[in-house]
Every structure is written in structure tokens, then in C-alpha cells.
Amino acid sequence: MAVTVSINGKREEVEGPVSVAELLESKRIRPQVAVIAVNRERISREALPDTVANDGDLVEIMIQLAGGGDV
């Protein structure tokens, strides 16, 4: 069993336990632009440094989509 990581709908598995903050850093995702949930519970930015995902956990990382036709 491993930690399942979903980044904007794409899933992969990593070995646990893993710090969610370190996971974000390894993916070069700034916490300021991401919504994070572990086992479907939202994690605040303040709680990130203390949040660890273990084998069997689901970590969801979502970057809000934005753009536009300003050409």
C-alpha cells in the first residue's frame, strides 16, 4: 500500500509516510495556489507543515483553473 496523490485529476502513488509540504515542494507547487485535502478533508496552509500522509491515504492537490481570451 502507498500514498495516493491526485494532482488535478491525475493520480500517482508515492511511498509513505510523506510530508504534504515536502510533497508540494517536490512537485514545485506553491501552497498559495493550491487547494489541499487529505482523505477528503481540507488542509489549511497553516497546518501543512504538520501534515503527514501515510500509506493508504489519499492526498488531493488542486490548482484552480484560470485563463482567458485576452489576445
Partner 1 sequence: MESDLEPAGRIGDYPFAGTVLVAADLLAELISVCAARLPDEACGVAAGRPGEIVRLYPLTNVSASPEYYTADAEEQLEAYRTMADEGLECVAVYHSHPATPARPSTTDIAQAYDPDVLYVIVSFAVQSPSVRAFTIRDGSVTEVTIQSEAPA
Nearer to partner 1, 12 or 22 (CB): 12
Residues that bind partner 1 in the complex, under the rule CB under 8 A: 6, 8-11, 35, 37, 40, 60, 62-71
Give the chain's end-to-end CA distance (angstroms, integer).
47
- The minimum distance between CB 44 and partner 1, in angstroms, equals 14
Angstrom distances, CA of residue 36 to CA of 26, 28, 46 = 15, 14, 12
Alpha carbons 5 and 58: distance in angstroms, whole number? 6
Nearer to partner 1, 9 or 46 (CB): 9
Nearer to partner 1, 46 or 68 (CB): 68
